[in-house]
Structure 1
Amino acid sequence: MDKQISDYQSSTLEDLINDESFMLWVSQPTEELDSKWNTIQQLYPGLAPIIREGKEIILSLHFETEVLHIKEQQNLWHTIAAKTTLNRKPQRKIRLWSRYAAAAILVGVLFLAGLLYSTFKQITVQTPYGQLKTLTLPDGSKVTLNANSKIKYDKNWDNDKIREVWVEGEAFLEVNHLHKNGPVKNHQRFIVHTGELNVEVLGTSFNVNDRRGRTEVALLKGKIRLALNTEKEKSLILAPGDIVEYIGGSLNKKPINVAEYTSWKDGKLYFNDVPVSTIFNYFEDIYGYKAKVSDTKILTRKLSGTISSRNEKVFLETVARTLNITITKDTDSHKLIIKAN
């Protein structure tokens, strides 16, 4: 049964390269397929990098075969038959055998290439605007991705390599603790690469936010070590309840209510005397709509309280009612038109 367009909104790279419609669109495009996949890209812009990567993979495996017209085949056969003698039959058999052998070798090479790709390829998971996704890593660790976020990791993790993931956007991680005693081995280490920071973990729950040129890491429980990519010899240790902000080339650590900071994964947002500009920045990151205000004083006002983040309409209505403003969503320009009442 054909998939509906809505079924593609949280597709992974693996999903796409195994999807018949996607493969046909890349290799043998038609007007109908173009229309379908253009619609998917417009509805789910977050899929764009995955679609590009999927197209590159499929096109890299493209083969061209020259096919003779039936009449040309007959003429060629008659020519060969007229010139073939008994003495030349063994040579023809050798040629046929050579072709079969070459074909078998080609099939074997392609199979091996596919097996290697399947074994060592990197998995990319990206969430569209307005949606969360929870996934399990190869070691059993859990990750919750916020909307408009991405994580990359190797499909298979072995006992000789460090467990590594790359995060863009925001993610909450619950890392499986493998180290019990003795020296820490490579496969027991877990490192998150985000922005300019490397976060090394030993059995922990923490939040990573890498947006707008600023990276924040908040530790819920356990222990993590932060280091800059350019200064790996220097590191900063976080204890539960700490948050570190990296901006402008410096690290700043401070205490915070981490439970409130990570509440987004449960569909709630806690604000404590937060500027309205920060709230609208968050909405842009999660839903893709930029705020346009008639009076900039609106952005300097502050809010405290709890807002549901599961539904953008409820989110906007709550903010509008609290601030006594009107918020109109312009879908054409992807902007929020904000006016004071």
Structure 2
Amino acid sequence: MDYSRFTAEQLATDPFFVRWVRKEDDETRLFWNDWLKRHPERREEAELARALVLTWRPKPVLPPPGAAETVWAGIQRDTAPDIRRFRWKTAAGWAAVLAGAGIGLYFFLTESAEIQQKTLAGQTRVVELPDHSQVVLSGNSSIAYDRDWDGEAPRKVRLKGQAFFSVVHQADHRKFIVETDDHYQVEVLGTTFTVAERNHNLQVVLNTGKVRLRQPGGRPALLMKPGERIEVRNQSVVSRKNVNPVTYSDWKDRRFAFDNASLGDVTEMLEYTYGYDIVFADSTLKEKKITVHLQDPDPDVLLNVLAQTHDLKIDRLENRIYIRP
């Protein structure tokens, strides 16, 4: 089959492709790894298709009321005259009816009550929520939220990774809540802010308005003001300070902008946005300052600028980066 013209959606519904994504056998692994080498121009489409496969949640297709009883009655009618002369073809025919009715089948995707949005490394995506609030997803990030936001329940979004939120204020003052895997909740009415959550580390930066950071375990909530950044590591608040919030959301406009920022702040942004693990050989290097404005949001370019500005050496092994004098 010629997969070179397949769209991401077509790939995501192809059984042979799905087997590769789910790592079911060596045959698909060898085929698709070779195919990607021969078609590098299709890699982005394949990655998007892979994300779709991992994101979709199949639900059973339910039969219409009474379908099971009708089918079973038909089988009994056709087989009752002579058990010894069981008509396999007839039973197989009713089995096909069962399949048509959807009994026990899980092969169809039906509309879910929950919507999931996901990005790959280096991607950004703008998502409009049911209340017309906007979310800009950073790379390697995802959000999930209910399709229907009618009623009086708080508007809730579950976040993995990093996202910038622009929340629309509701006339009924309904709360908007961003929830992380560690059960932290950022609660707002209408505001703009960035939340980054990776590896049990949380960072909240408030641009405008007010937000309340609710902590798990009954600990007191933290009320934030514009320009504040709170950082949580392993369930403990390790930093709360005033920052330039634009620095922490420039990625959504596909640019880097730092004004007299510490290398520690710059590398923290890279960790949250790109999932890097950045280690300094000497912790005092984090205090060095840098001013840089880049229209191209390429993390490698930014790292090279850091190295050249302060005469540093940078070693990289996959997502782990070592910075040394």
TM-based fold match above 0.5: yes
Q: Match for residue 2 of structure 1?
A: 3
2:244 counterpart (252, 257, 262): 257
**What corresponds to 1:108 in structure 2?**
101
The one-letter code of the counterpart of 2:100 is V
Match of 2:171 in 1: 180
C-alpha distance in structure 1 between counterparts of 2:102 and 2:11, whole Å: 23
Secondary structure (helix, strand or coil) at the match of 2:226 reads: coil
CA deviation profile, 1:8-56 (whole Å, cap 9, x unmatched): 6xxxxx887535552354699673554416987xx899998876666x9
**Aligned CA distance change for structure 1 residues 269 and 212 (closer, same or farther; 3 Å):** farther
Aligned: 1:267 with 2:254 = yes
**Deviation of the 1:250 alpha carbon:** 4.3
Give how far 1:222 is off: 3.3
Find the partner of 1:18 among 13, 29, 39: 13
**Closer, same or farther in 2 for the Cα pair 1:28/1:258, shift >3 Å?**
closer
Judging changes above 3 Å, is the alpha-carbon distance between structure 1 residues 35 and 335 closer, same or farther for their aligned structure 2 residues?
farther
Residue correspondence of structure 1 range 16-55 to structure 2 within 5 A: 17-19=12-14, 21-23=16-18, 25=20, 31=27, 34-36=30-32
Letter in 1 for 2:127: L
Q: How far apart in 1 are the matches of 2:15 and 2:105?
A: 22
Q: Is residue 150 from structure 1 mapped to residue 142 from structure 2 by the alignment?
A: yes
Q: Which amino acid aligns with 1:2?
A: Y
In terms of Rg, which structure is larger?
1
Counterpart residue type for residue 104 of structure 1: V
| Aligned with residue 202 of structure 1, among 189, 202, 214 | 189
Determine helix, strand or coil for the equivalent of 2:185.
strand
1:245 and 2:240 correspond: no
Aligned length: 294
TM-score scaled by structure 2? 0.67
The 1-side partners of 2:226 and 2:85 are apart by: 77
Q: CA deviation at 1:207?
A: 0.8
| Distance in 1, Cα, partners of 2:187 & 2:319 | 37
Instruction: Please give the secondary structure, in 2, of the residue aligned with 1:200.
Output: strand
CA deviations 1:82-114 (Å, max 9, x no partner) are xxxxx959x989987665455334422359977
Q: 1:130 to 1:254 in 2, by over 3 A?
A: same
| Aligned residue in 2 for 1:222 | 209
Inter-partner Cα distance in structure 2 for 1:251 and 1:335: 23
User: Cα distance 1:334–1:219, how it changes in 2: closer, same or farther (>3 A)?
Assistant: closer
* C-alpha displacement of 1:273: 4.9
Contact 2:114 2:144 (8 Å CA) reproduced: yes
Q: Secondary structure at the match of 2:130?
A: coil
Runs of at least 5 residues in structure 1 that lack an aligned partner in the other structure = 9-13, 62-86
Indicate yes or no: 2:185 matched with 1:192.
Answer: no
Q: 1:313: Cα distance to partner? A: 3.3
Is the 8 Å Cα contact of residues 273 and 302 (structure 1) preserved in structure 2? no
Counterpart of 2:66 in structure 1 is none
Q: Which segments of 5 or more consecutive residues in structure 2 lack a partner in the other structure? A: 37-42, 62-79
Corresponding position: 1:128 with 2:98: no
Closer, same or farther: CA 140–33 of 1 in aligned 2, 3 Å: farther
Q: 1:253, 1:193 → 2: CA distance?
A: 20
The residue identity in structure 2 corresponding to 1:136 is E
Contact 2:135 2:166 in 1 (8 A): yes
Question: Relative to total residues, which structure has the larger helix share, 1 or 2?
Answer: 1
What is the root-mean-square deviation of aligned Cα atoms in Å? 4.6
Q: Is the 8 A contact 1:46 1:148 kept in 2?
A: no
- CA deviation map 1:212-254 (0-9, x unaligned): 543222222334332123328x534434334333345348754
Task: Give the corresponding residue for 2:76.
Answer: none
Task: Identify the match of residue 165 of structure 1 among 154, 157, 161.
Answer: 157
